[in-house]
């Protein structure tokens, strides 16, 4: 009887440890994306920036087409887009069968002619990202 009780207690403790370990693994996977905190900041295109950024921005502003212009600098992505009103950024980490990828997604809200958005997205270049996407939406709420 005592042996059965001890076995039952050991099985219960082992089950608890397995469940707790699985929970920690799930939380660790969820937290991987949080370690790569990204920050989006709207910028004023009329301000002065470093020479490289200013040259790129001037070319983007002078472009007569309504299109998205993107510039990468260590740990930063700059976006200038005519015909858009807002931007948001998201970091996505996926692990499918051991193949991992991380994506920085920038979504722009389409506006009207004359609208513009200029933003800088800061991220950790060591851990982010294996890819970048720019999405366009016309849907509110943004």
pLDDT band at 24 (very low <50, low <70, confident <90, very high): very low
Q: Is 48 found in the same domain as 13?
A: no
Q: Residue 115 is part of which domain span?
A: 37-137
Report the percent of the chain where pLDDT is more than 70: 71
Q: Which helix (DSSP H) or strand (DSSP E) does residue 8 occupy?
A: helix 2-35
Residue 132: is its pLDDT beyond 80? yes
Q: Compute the distance between CA of residue 55 and CA of residue 52 in angstroms, rounded to an integer.
A: 5
Q: Is 11 found in the same domain as 62?
A: no
Q: Which helix (DSSP H) or strand (DSSP E) does residue 127 occupy?
A: none
The residue-averaged pLDDT of 109-119 equals: 92
Q: How many residues does the chain have?
A: 142
Q: Compute the distance between CA of residue 11 and CA of residue 20 in angstroms, rounded to an integer.
A: 14
Averaged confidence pLDDT in the chain: 79
Q: Is 22 found in the same domain as 71?
A: no
pLDDT band at 71 (very low <50, low <70, confident <90, very high): very high
Q: Is 42 found in the same domain as 20?
A: no
Q: Is 82 found in the same domain as 26?
A: no
How many structural domains does the chain have?
2
pLDDT for residue 26: 47
142 part of a folded domain = no
Give 116's contacts (C-beta < 8 A, 6+ positions apart). Answer: 45, 80, 81, 82, 83, 84
Q: Is 63 found in the same domain as 47?
A: yes
């Amino acid at each position: 009887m005592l042996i059965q009780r001890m076995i039952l207690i050991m099985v219960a403790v082992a089950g608890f440890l397995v469940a707790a370990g699985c929970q920690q693994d799930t939380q660790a996977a969820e937290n991987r994306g949080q370690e790569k905190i990204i920050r989006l900041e709207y910028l004023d295109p009329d301000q002065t920036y470093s020479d490289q950024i200013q040259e790129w921005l001037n070319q983007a502003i002078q472009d007569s087409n309504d299109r998205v212009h993107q510039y990468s600098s260590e740990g930063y992505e700059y976006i200038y887009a005519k015909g858009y009103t807002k931007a948001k950024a998201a970091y996505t980490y996926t692990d499918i069968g051991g193949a991992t990828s991380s994506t920085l997604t920038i979504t722009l809200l389409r506006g009207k002619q004359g609208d513009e958005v200029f933003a800088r997205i800061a991220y950790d270049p060591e851990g982010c990202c294996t890819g970048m996407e720019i999405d366009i939406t016309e849907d509110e709420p943004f």
